[in-house]
Amino acid sequence: MHDLHLFTHFIKGSLLAVASGSRGYYIWLLALVILIALGANAYGNQLTHGLITSHMRDQVSWGFYIGNFAFLVGVAAAAVVLVVPAYVYNWGPIRDVVLIGELASVAAIIMCMLFVTVDLGRPEFVWHLIPIIGTPNFPHSLLTWDILVLNVYFLINWFIATYILFMTFSNRKYNPRLVLPLIFLSIPFAIGIHTVTAFLFTGLKSRAFWHTALLAPRFIAGAFCSGPALIFLIFRVLRKVHRMEITETALFKIGELLAYAMAINLFFVASEVFTEFYGQTSHSVHAHFQWFGLHGLSSISIYTWVALCCNVLALIIFMVPKFRLNLNILTLGCVFSFCGIYIEKGMGLLLPGFTPDALGEIYEYTPSLNEVTVGVGIWAVGALLFTLMARVAIAITAGDLRIRRA
């Protein structure tokens, strides 16, 4: 009874916190709402005319949407990197920032689900996937696995974040006997969502480019580069717009972690390049297309090289102490890392798998304006959700939003 009463207050307080803010806050929200409206309009266009509004075709049957999905699963998974030291080892400096990381991963999973949904030809029939009323092809289809682990991971993160915020709101300490097991559970699930997403591709024996045991490790390494980089950038913004206490020690710790992650990621890239090019087989044609193009068609290879440059620059910044310990240069490194992985794990991963297609045809895919607009709308939904959640979290942890009778 008491808790329920408190929870009502918690919800009310959260709504109030979300509704009030500076002028800049309102402008930011307005900008996001406009982008969401544009995206919704583009999706409406897609629903009216079908996926023909995209540039996907039978030859390249997945594109921008699934590329973003694969990337965002990584962002969501990487939240756990920060969660572990904070709760399990009680390492102080990173503690305050973990909540933000968890909220970012909640927003990322919602974006993942939106990207998969907009990719469906008949989204209204999505209930066919639900057990009992539908006929999910479990355990054969990796897609059903992915839906399962993503939902469980979402629930774990959402629950931990809400629970901790609610306890802080009511001036109580969270129960470690409830939180710790959930956190331990979230670790295999974080690895799991990304592994299963990689297996989604690896499991396709007909696509030589993805049919490699290195794909899942590459996914994880990439996730550890993009996720913490994004969280670092969010922190830098939050430190500017809010008087949020985030110690530099915590930020530099992220930089250190990124150095390891990016080194491993690039090592995997090199390992793959060696395998594909030293002992070439007919299957190397996809890697050829990825790096150099085929028959003069080379739109994708530009992305590949841009991604490589971004990642190498990021690695240099993360490795050299003089750069890493300079907050502004480190920020630049995080931008490089995020962009590099976005290209590499998004379209860079997807398109060479489909090109040349199963019968050897080369269809050069670039997303249509409509596709990109839908995608921008989804990113705006993620940003909006995150902004609102972070607003509540910051108000509560800063002590501005607490139950009065303490």
Partner 1 sequence: MGIFRRNKQATGQAKGSQKGSSRRDFLKTAATVGAGTAVGAPAIASALEFDFETFMQKNFRELSDEELKGVIERLERKYSEKYGKDVSVSAIGPMDGVLYGYGLDISRCIGCRKCVYACVDENNQSRDPEIHWIRVLEFERSEALRTINLEEGNPYYEHEKVPAEGKFYVPIACQHCEDSPCSTVCPTGATWQEPDGIVVIDYDWCIGCRYCMAACPYGARHFNWGEPNLPAEEVNPDMHILGNKPRARGVVEKCSFCIQRVRKGRLPACHEACPVGARKFGNLLDPNSEIRYLLEHKRTFVLKAELETNPKFFYFWGTEGRS
Rule CB under 8 A: say whether 139 interacts with partner 1.
yes
Q: Closer CB to partner 1, residue 206 or residue 328?
A: 206
CA dist., res. 379 & res. 316, Å (int): 29
For the CA atoms of 270, 272, 79, 262, the dihedral, rounded to the nearest 10 degrees, stands at 0
Is 266 one of the binding residues for partner 1 (CB under 8 A)? no
Show the site string, 184-203: x = touches partner 1 by CB under 8 A, - = not: ----------------x--x
For residues 198 and 196, give the distance between their C-alpha atoms in angstroms, rounded to a whole number. 5
- Those residues with Cβ within 8 angstroms of residue 347's Cβ, 6 or more apart along the chain or in another chain: 63, 64, 67, 300, 303
* CA-CA-CA-CA torsion sign (265, 266, 270, 272): positive
Alpha-carbon distance 21 to 26, whole Å?
Answer: 7
**Contact between 204 and partner 1 per CB under 8 A:** yes
259 makes contact with partner 1 (CB under 8 A):
no
Least distance in Å: CB of 92 to partner 1?
44
Segment contacting partner 1 by CB under 8 A, of 125-133, 227-235, 251-259, 337-345: 125-133
CB of 220 to partner 1, least distance (A): 22
Those residues with Cβ within 8 angstroms of residue 389's Cβ, 6 or more apart along the chain or in another chain:
103, 106, 107, 161
Using only C-alpha atoms, the chain has a radius of gyration, in whole angstroms, of 22
Chosen residue from 238, 357, 364, 403 binding partner 1 by CB under 8 A: 357
Out of 16, 27, 31, 120, the only residue in the binding site for partner 1 (CB under 8 A) is 120
Applying CB under 8 A, among 2, 173, 205, 243 the residue interacting with partner 1 is: 205
Backbone angles phi, psi at 294, to 5 degrees: -135, 140
Nearest-approach distance from CB 199 to partner 1, in angstroms: 11
Burial code (b: 16+ CB inside 10 Å, e: under 16) for 103-126 equals bbbbbbbbbbbbbbebbeeeeeee
Q: How far apart are CA 168 and CA 275, in angstroms?
A: 52
Judged by CB under 8 A, the residue of 354, 365, 379, 386 near partner 1 is 354
* Residues 36-95 contacting partner 1, CB under 8 A: 49-52, 54, 56-59, 61-62
If the CB atoms of residues 116 and 261 are measured against partner 1, the closer one turns out to be 116
369 binds partner 1 (CB under 8 A): no
The span from the CA of 378 to the CA of 184, in Å, is 30
Binding footprint of partner 1 on the chain (CB under 8 A): 49-52, 54, 56-59, 61-62, 116, 119-126, 128-129, 131-132, 134-144, 147, 200, 203-207, 282, 285, 353-354, 356-361
